[in-house]
Structure 1
Amino acid sequence: MPHVLAFLLLPFAWLYALVLGVRNWLYDRGLKTSTAYPVPVISVGNLRAGGTGKTPHVAWMVGQLLRAGEKPAVLSRGYGRRTRGYVRADAAATAATIGDEPLQHYQDFGGQVPVAVDEDRRTGIAALLETQPALTAVVLDDAYQHRRVRPAFNILLTEQPRPFYHDFVLPAGRLRESRRGAARADVVIVTKCAPDLSAADQADITTRIRRYARPRVPVLFSTYDYGPPVAVGAAARPAGAEILLLTGIAQPGPLRDYLTQAGYQIVRHATFADHHAFTPAELAAVVGQLRPGQSVFTTQKDAVRLLEPALQAALAGWPVFYIPIQVRFLADGAARLQSLLRPLFQPQAVV
């Protein structure tokens, strides 16, 4: 039935792709204006709506820039927040004021990296540069289709289990624009790969990607490393192997697979939509299902929302934990990406 529905929706997808194709053509020909900036703007985005791993890859990118001695900032739209316009993260920020992913970035770097949100990335970048004159880079989270900004470096993410070249434009599929949009990428990162993905499989995926991207665009492969459970509630460590999984993300499958392989038994999985704004009643219903010896596990992005003041009371006294993740590149992917970024920060010769 899903395939039949996708087939019936193809005419609408073609129309949507045509409209976006005309828009992209206008930007490509300079008939619509894209703004460049005096510091490198690095865009991390995707063609597919949701779930490609932007948040951990942005964190990896910021970490690399910090280690290289740069002073980066992160700018996001702030999806799911209840505010509008430009908002800079501070110690009082919550998921409601800036969104869960920007709040996670702010917390990950201890507030030492400027994090801001703005629907209009141009005004957001301008505000960051005005208020943070020491910045040497701006990392855009989820701005691949935001053509009003001309990034110095465009990173396109696509999942190995759901690559963009097997997908269709909305509403027949999950692509925000046609596969040809990959041609704007300076590098393509295939995310959520099996750690043992073979060289032959990598070569095949690279060939398929380059049918739509530039012929020699670098194609890198990354996977996730999962850390030990981190306490969100009262308990210091999980009570046992039985867990109730709570997720409000687009693709919880990789986490489920990891937990199963790690020896946990998922007795229930409470699933919600991506960026779901949990209510105290929903959380009370979840923890109310716990039995002795069981714990609630969730993602780091979900945990950011669980720490909202109105929700903490619902979790008080319960064993709740999140599983942190970090990006790890396969083979020499990290070194290759670092070498691609390095020229952005080297002084340009004056002609």
Structure 2
Amino acid sequence: MLVQEKTRTFPERISPFLRRKLDSLRREQGEDSPPYRGLALQYVKDEREDQEGWEENLKHYEAQLEVKDPGGKLPGLERLYRRTLVIELTLACAAHCRHCLRKNYPLHTLSEAQLVEVARHCGAPEHRGSLNEILITGGDPLTVPGRLHFFIEALREYAPNIQTIRIGSRLMSQYPEKIDETVFSIFRNKPGLRFELATQINHPVEFFPEVCEVFGRFRELGVKIYAQNVLLQGVNDEIDTLVELYDRMRRHDIEPHYLFHCVPIKGIHHLRTSVSRGLQLIRELVAGGKVSGRVKPMYAAMTDIGKITFYEGVILGRRDGRLLLQSNYRVEDRMAYNPSWQIPPTAEVDESGYLRVWYLDGND
């Protein structure tokens, strides 16, 4: 398990847009309606968050990359994989997802000087042969468009090896009024760069007209949009809800990526299904002829050693409410990408040199 020394209360933060939609859904359909619950469970603080559960992690996994600049160690850099570096540009968001992965991270927004150092790190000669894409996340980088634009220009200057820039954001569905020409201009006139916008849509109710309009504007700019959704109890753990969700994604040209089992972060036990429930749902979704073959996600878990997709042979055993999961990660590869990485206590190395990890299951 990954436990930090300090935690902080994760306050409720709901954007004016979401507040209006919640009020409207409550008034028109009632608090027990699936659409209202599908939105409210994601954003309204629940008293169950303060109840004791088996979930003890305060982070999804340890991946901090130690990079120093003249002012000290740079915050907000993570690396577990060969091709991609994660940059947490800011940890500010327009709204607080109750199932947030980074709810216990110290708050920061990288300065322009720090972003120049990050760009130089990305373009260093020792990285040019392997590192060719980055994921700018947070927090929500679209909430600080000026800083985001500055960083992209720094990458163009110092890191020509970066060909793909992925940007993680829920601002489109949390506060679409904030997506204005300042944001759209970031994606214009950047020859040689591929932009991909990663979002998260967990219930079909989130496809409000204002949200769909913003997605359309990004598509007109040639920005590829994909979704990494989360299986949440009471939100989307019914097959009809998932079918409607992925049908709407297909309609709006949003590519499926992962459907994540909800991570074992402290305070969100009430949102976690069992892994087996997710396996049942993913079989119905991808092998039942219910949705287009072009909109089928991969079902995966965010474990202490990184993402593991549930394929045949991944679940090796069960003990005390935990699953032993087999990965194809090698320790030497992980250390090559991130020399400061350490094997977590929940992981072990098998006879072939691959990592295995114990993962806390949820309950239905």
TM-score, normalisation: structure 2: 0.32
Per the normalisation by structure 1, the TM-score is 0.32
